[in-house]
Amino acid sequence: MKRQLNFLFIILFVIIFAYLLAPDKEYTDRIWVLKGISVAAPYRAAVNEYWQKKQELPEPGDLELEKMRVQVDFEKTAVDSITIGKDGPGSVTVYYSTKNMNSAPVELNNTRIILKPGPAINKLVWSCEGTMPEAMIPKVCKKM
Contact 98, 85 (CB under 8 A): no
CA–chain centroid gap for 37, Å, is 3
DSSP state of 85: S
Residue 36 maps to a domain: yes
Q: What does the pLDDT look like over 58-100, one tens digit per residue?
A: 887 777 665 555 566 667 788 888 888 889 899 999 999 888 7
Number of domains composing the chain:
1
Identify whether 5 is part of a domain. no
Q: Domain containing 84 — which CATH number?
A: 3.30.700.10
pLDDT digits (tens, 9 = 90+) for 115-129: 999 888 888 888 888
Query: Could you tell me the residue range of the domain that residue 79 belongs to?
Result: 24-143
Is 114 part of a structural domain of the chain? Answer: yes
pLDDT digits (tens, 9 = 90+) for 11-45: 766 766 666 665 666 677 788 888 888 888 888 88
Band the pLDDT of 106: cuts 50, 70, 90: confident
